[in-house]
Amino acid sequence: MTKFEYDHRLVLLPCHLLLCLSVICSCSAEAPAAAGHRPGCPAKCGDVDIPFPFGIGEQCALDGFQLGCNRSIGSRGTGSTSSKPFWGDFEVMSISVPDGKVRVKTLISSLCYDPATNLTTPFEASSDFTNSGFWISDADNKIVVIGCYTLAYMMSSSYVIGCLSRCDDALPLQNGSCSGNGCCQADVPKDITYYESYFNERYNGSVTWRQQDRRCGYMAVMEKAALDFRPSFVTSTVFNDTNNGKVPVILNWLIAQVSCRVARQNMSTYACVSSNSQCLDSTGKQPGYRCRCRNGYEGNPYITGGCQDIDDCLGNSNLCPFGVCVNTPGGYNCPCHPGNSTINGVCVPIQKPSRFPALPVVGASVGLVIIVIAIACACLIRERKKSQKMKENYFRQHGGLLLFEEMKSKQANSFKIFTKEELQKATDMFSAQRIVGRGGNGTVYRGLLEGNDLEVAVKRCMTIDEKQKAEFGKEMLILSQINHRNIVKLLGCCLEVEVPMLVYEFIPNGTLFQLIHGSHGQRLSLAARLEIAHESADALAYLHSCASPPILHGDVKSSNILIDADRKAKVSDFGTSILGATDESQFATFMQGTCGYLDPEYVQTCRMTYKSDVYSFGVVLLELLTRKKPVNLFAAEHEKSLSVVFLSAMKENKVAEILDEHIKDEEDNARFIQEIAELAKQCLEMYGENRPSMREVAEKLGGLRKGMHHHPWGKEAQEDTESLLGEPSSMASSTVSTEKIGITGLQSGR
Ligand SMILES: *[C@@H]1O[C@H](CO)[C@@H](O)[C@H](O)[C@H]1NC(C)=O
Ligand SMILES: *[C@@H]1O[C@H](CO)[C@@H](O)[C@H](O)[C@H]1NC(C)=O
Ligand SMILES: *[C@@H]1O[C@H](CO)[C@@H](O)[C@H](O)[C@H]1NC(C)=O
Ligand SMILES: *[C@@H]1O[C@H](CO)[C@@H](O)[C@H](O)[C@H]1NC(C)=O
Ligand SMILES: *[C@@H]1O[C@H](CO)[C@@H](O)[C@H](O)[C@H]1NC(C)=O
Ligand SMILES: *[C@@H]1O[C@H](CO)[C@@H](O)[C@H](O)[C@H]1NC(C)=O
Ligand SMILES: *[C@@H]1O[C@H](CO)[C@@H](O)[C@H](O)[C@H]1NC(C)=O
């Protein structure tokens, strides 16, 4: 008898059909891997499983994964003793080896008002996992702020994210609803290894507390699934009490801070020791690797023999709809029952020889094939329809219809609505090799449009909320009408996807940040710097006063100013822009921007104005003058923020000391430098109303630039930069920048 075996591909087809017919088919159910530990080591501490690479004691854990198991008296004096695992100071609640996560407890930060003393006392917690191979999972956690008019920030080495929990007595607080009233939550940025919390005490909270019996506001970076908001969290201390002052947070971990390729070079330290295990390189910014068991295996890849074959057949009666399920290492087979044979992938009883042996079999199998094909087609058509419908839905949600109507009436515009397929083709299915930038609110890909061979930058936004969704089409319409030589042109957008995508012209020569702080900066003459400053100021002035409605940029910084092939400055990234500036939209619940550039008034009031852009532009002027970064984390406390250093130098008449050597050396520059420094000082005024308008800044810079052209050195200096930007450079560019720099600008405002 011949032995017939199914392979996986053949099994898949019937499975798809079953799925389509709404019968649950668990083709690849992944059973949770069992915890594994080194022989002779404790498997548990209290109720918590301790799988290797974690362990208790030096011999039982990999370096950096050692836990302590401390005996502690049961809380609230129940008398019982129980043990709890600790990683450093953090109590460990659970460990997951397959996805490289660990759940630990962190402190809740609080700001409480004491009516006895009339004082508000903050408790501002911080967590630091730097250099440990652990970081805060952005997918599993949220920044949560609870309270009445409580404004708190999570500050990391690269981001400041604020969240304002308001308290509108007209809106009742609701169970489970954390959307701004009594409770607010914000996304955790990727790759955060360190944060501090910070309450804005000058915010309205204390007033409200004094009047009512609302005593505390809270802030925590915590597991989003663990937040179950109750109105009592706002009116009492129950949030802190029930959690004992701590909440769970999920951390990702990697085994070591080297890539798989490097790790394999030293087999004595390589951690994926089990047979049938694989090494996975880190996909984020953290360097390192993890191990996993190959498909079809489960268990702990970090211990010898840890990956065990999964018995696929066990409890999986749907796997082999026709034959018998036989488990094999890493998979399974579906041979027919003895006495049956396979025809067209289906087991049928072997026919007794007869006068017309072949006919019924062939007839049956042909019929079966036809039925299979028919069902497959029906499925395919249904899937197509579903996906078409989804696209149409997104299109409508994003205001696509409005946009479409308007486009028809304004034929002249070059703005285009792209389809998802067009952009996929242009960017090689959003291949990682095409990424040119990753910003706070999206990823930018370099793309080539088919047909007209036009290079574009495609920006894929991160999530946007419901309200923004409805407004998106309208915003696109306004942005598409902006036409200024120093503003990156928006060519079109794609609305068929869950989060909209924007298509911009591609600017080839990198950002101003790279130009100043890269090695090329030293060869940039004052004239060239002035030119870039004037062009950028002009673009911002245009947004503020000539666009209709006026537009706030919201995130002005040197890495959002791009340099094109003709060394013209181009302002980009309206990601945080606030259109129209009606009262409602000026007042954002989420705070965003980049440290070192943030308007101190905005940090205090949460209200972004046109003068916030002026402040940020002032910082850009400082960068041009000093070639220093807006924040320097490694400097002494009072020297971290460039604007603070500059303002105190101005006061003491010592500006010359912080200027970039190269422009100081150019003769006859002193008068111009003096005037630019004076202008920067005005831009950095504490109160927005004392700052000049963007138009005034642009006019002033324009005047200086003209003065410089009459200057004997102006001409030569220009030629110098021409050659600099003409040469091929390593500055791959993007329309959105990634530089998010330090936090200390904010702290110094305290
Ligand atoms: C756990 O016990 C060890 C040794 O007894 C001690 O050094 C450590 O501080 C304890 N950790 C906690 C969080 O209690
Ligand atoms: C707290 O403020 C209230 C109202 O302003 C005042 O009556 C009370 O004396 C103050 N108490 C203390 C301890 O300062
Ligand atoms: C909110 O949840 C609590 C506890 O589950 C329950 O007692 C209360 O009735 C709920 N309130 C509302 C408005 O649903
Ligand atoms: C501060 O609170 C008062 C009521 O206590 C309210 O009228 C006022 O608008 C609040 N200010 C801000 C900035 O929210
Ligand atoms: C929160 O709870 C912890 C532990 O019970 C306690 O030490 C801390 O003082 C509490 N904080 C507030 C603001 O109530
Ligand atoms: C491999 O690592 C071990 C432990 O760190 C070290 O002693 C050994 O010298 C390394 N071997 C090589 C070939 O680098
Ligand atoms: C295969 O053989 C078994 C037992 O010999 C029988 O019960 C079954 O009907 C046959 N046909 C199929 C399609 O499995």
Backbone angles phi, psi at 672, to 5 degrees: -70, -45
Side-chain half-sphere CA neighbours of 282 within 13 A:
21
Give buried/exposed letters for 225-244 (b at 16+ CB in 10 A, else e).
ebbebbeebbbeeebbeebe
How does DSSP classify residue 543?
I
Give distance in angstroms: CA of 97 to centre of ligand 6. 25
On whether the CB atoms of residues 556 and 512 are closer than 8 A, the answer is: no
- What sign results for the dihedral spanned by CA atoms 510, 516, 520, 524? positive
Q: Work out the pLDDT band at 691, boundaries 50, 70, 90.
A: very high
**Stronger pLDDT, 38 or 107, i.e. the higher one:** 107
Report the pLDDT value the prediction gives residue 218, as an integer from 0 to 100.
92
Mean pLDDT of the chain: 76
Single-letter code of the amino acid located at 521: G
When mean pLDDT is compared across 69-73, 274-278, 363-367, 513-517, the lowest value belongs to 363-367
**150/468 Cα distance (integer angstroms):** 24
Kindly tell me if the per-residue pLDDT of 669 is higher than 60. yes
Give distance in angstroms: CA of 167 to centre of ligand 7. 69
Residue with tokens 């990727």: 190
Q: Dihedral of the CA atoms 472, 475, 480, 483 (nearest 10)? A: -150
On whether the CB atoms of residues 398 and 472 are closer than 8 A, the answer is: yes
Of the candidates 155, 138, 164, the one whose C-alpha atom is nearest the C-alpha of residue 590 is 164
Query: 118 in ligand 2 pocket by Cβ < 6 Å?
Result: yes
**569/535 Cα distance (integer angstroms):** 6
**627/542 Cα distance (integer angstroms):** 26
On whether the CB atoms of residues 592 and 544 are closer than 8 A, the answer is: no
> 714-726 vs 694-709: helix axis angle to the nearest 10?
110
| Residue 137 burial (CB count, 10 A) | 22
On whether the CB atoms of residues 524 and 516 are closer than 8 A, the answer is: yes
Give distance in angstroms: CA of 245 to centre of ligand 5. 5
Q: Residue 354: is it exposed, middle or buried by C-beta count within 10 angstroms (0-12/13-18/19+)?
A: exposed
Q: Work out the pLDDT band at 269, boundaries 50, 70, 90.
A: confident
Report the pLDDT value the prediction gives residue 591, as an integer from 0 to 100.
59
424-434 pLDDT, tens digit per residue, is: 888 888 888 88
Query: 268 in ligand 6 pocket by Cβ < 6 Å?
Result: yes
Q: Which two tokens stand for residue 725?
A: 């930007």
**597/604 Cα distance (integer angstroms):** 14
Report the pLDDT value the prediction gives residue 711, as an integer from 0 to 100.
59
Give nearest CA residue, ligand 2 atom 3: 118
**222/204 Cα distance (integer angstroms):** 25
Give buried/exposed letters for 474-503 (b at 16+ CB in 10 A, else e).
ebbbbbbebebebbbbbbbbbbbbeebbbb
Report the pLDDT value the prediction gives residue 249, as an integer from 0 to 100.
95
**pLDDT average, residue stretch 682-704:** 93
- Among residues 140, 309, 555, 564, which one is catalytic? 555
Ligand 3 atom with the smallest distance to the CA of 231 is 1
Give nearest CA residue, ligand 3 atom 12: 175
**Stronger pLDDT, 142 or 494, i.e. the higher one:** 142
Report the pLDDT value the prediction gives residue 475, as an integer from 0 to 100.
66
**Stronger pLDDT, 141 or 166, i.e. the higher one:** 141
Q: Work out the pLDDT band at 11, boundaries 50, 70, 90.
A: very low
**Stronger pLDDT, 7 or 528, i.e. the higher one:** 528
Length of the chain in residues, anyone? 750
Q: Which ligand is nearest to the CA of 258?
A: 6
Kindly tell me if the per-residue pLDDT of 243 is higher than 70. yes
Percent of all residues in the chain with a pLDDT value above 90, rounded to a whole number:
19
List of residues 6+ apart from 463 with CB closer than 8 A: 187, 499
Query: 107 in ligand 5 pocket by Cβ < 6 Å?
Result: no
**700/597 Cα distance (integer angstroms):** 21
- What SS3 class is residue 455? strand
Report the pLDDT value the prediction gives residue 143, as an integer from 0 to 100.
93
Kindly tell me if the per-residue pLDDT of 412 is higher than 60. no
Give distance in angstroms: CA of 504 to centre of ligand 3. 49
Q: Which ligand is nearest to the CA of 337?
A: 7
Ligand 6 atom with the smallest distance to the CA of 266 is 1
Query: 211 in ligand 2 pocket by Cβ < 6 Å?
Result: no
Report the pLDDT value the prediction gives residue 28, as an integer from 0 to 100.
30
Give nearest CA residue, ligand 6 atom 5: 269
Of the candidates 249, 332, 343, 320, the one whose C-alpha atom is nearest the C-alpha of residue 295 is 332
When mean pLDDT is compared across 23-27, 60-64, 562-566, 571-575, the lowest value belongs to 23-27
Kindly tell me if the per-residue pLDDT of 454 is higher than 50. yes
Q: Which two tokens stand for residue 14?
A: 């019937």
**339/270 Cα distance (integer angstroms):** 50
Report the pLDDT value the prediction gives residue 369, as an integer from 0 to 100.
73
Annotated binding site for ATP: 459
Q: Work out the pLDDT band at 716, boundaries 50, 70, 90.
A: very low
Report the pLDDT value the prediction gives residue 470, as an integer from 0 to 100.
60
CA distances 54 to 133, 258, 292, 294, 297, Å, are: 13, 19, 15, 21, 21
**pLDDT average, residue stretch 685-714:** 85
On whether the CB atoms of residues 504 and 489 are closer than 8 A, the answer is: yes
Q: Helical H runs in 248-357?
A: 260-263
Give distance in angstroms: CA of 41 to centre of ligand 1. 19
On whether the CB atoms of residues 660 and 524 are closer than 8 A, the answer is: no
374-404 pLDDT, tens digit per residue, is: 777 676 777 776 766 676 666 666 666 666 6
Give nearest CA residue, ligand 6 atom 11: 266
Q: 555 catalytic, yes or no?
A: yes
Q: Which ligand is nearest to the CA of 86?
A: 1
Of the candidates 166, 91, 155, the one whose C-alpha atom is nearest the C-alpha of residue 124 is 155
Mutate to test the pocket of ligand 4, among 200, 204, 214, 586 (most ligand atoms within 8 A of CB): 204
Ligand 3 atom with the smallest distance to the CA of 174 is 13
Kindly tell me if the per-residue pLDDT of 46 is higher than 90. no
Q: Beta strands 435-439 and 578-579: pairing type?
A: unpaired
Query: 117 in ligand 3 pocket by Cβ < 6 Å?
Result: no
**pLDDT average, residue stretch 6-28:** 31
**pLDDT average, residue stretch 91-99:** 91
**pLDDT average, residue stretch 528-537:** 94
Query: 175 in ligand 3 pocket by Cβ < 6 Å?
Result: yes
**Stronger pLDDT, 649 or 70, i.e. the higher one:** 649
Report the pLDDT value the prediction gives residue 517, as an integer from 0 to 100.
87
Report the pLDDT value the prediction gives residue 530, as an integer from 0 to 100.
92
433-447 pLDDT, tens digit per residue, is: 888 877 656 788 888
Q: Which two tokens stand for residue 242?
A: 């029930």
**Stronger pLDDT, 402 or 533, i.e. the higher one:** 533
Q: Residue 89: is it exposed, middle or buried by C-beta count within 10 angstroms (0-12/13-18/19+)?
A: exposed
List of residues 6+ apart from 516 with CB closer than 8 A: 524, 558, 623, 624, 627
How does DSSP classify residue 498?
S
Give distance in angstroms: CA of 210 to centre of ligand 2. 10
Report the pLDDT value the prediction gives residue 518, as an integer from 0 to 100.
82
Give distance in angstroms: CA of 175 to centre of ligand 3. 6
Q: Which ligand is nearest to the CA of 605?
A: 4
Q: Work out the pLDDT band at 583, boundaries 50, 70, 90.
A: very low
Give nearest CA residue, ligand 4 atom 6: 204
When mean pLDDT is compared across 92-106, 133-147, 153-167, the lowest value belongs to 153-167
**697/387 Cα distance (integer angstroms):** 51
Which among 3-12, 345-354, 404-413 has the top mean pLDDT? Answer: 345-354
- Secondary element (H or E) of residue 358: helix 358-397
How does DSSP classify residue 181?
B
Kindly tell me if the per-residue pLDDT of 1 is higher than 70. no
Kindly tell me if the per-residue pLDDT of 580 is higher than 70. no
Task: Go through the domains of the chain in sequence order and give each one's CATH number.
Answer: 20-99+255-309 (no CATH), 109-244 (no CATH), 400-505 (3.30.200.20), 512-725 (1.10.510.10)
**pLDDT average, residue stretch 27-44:** 59
**Stronger pLDDT, 69 or 578, i.e. the higher one:** 69
Give nearest CA residue, ligand 5 atom 8: 245
Report the pLDDT value the prediction gives residue 35, as an integer from 0 to 100.
54
Distance of CA 378 to the CA centre of its chain: 39
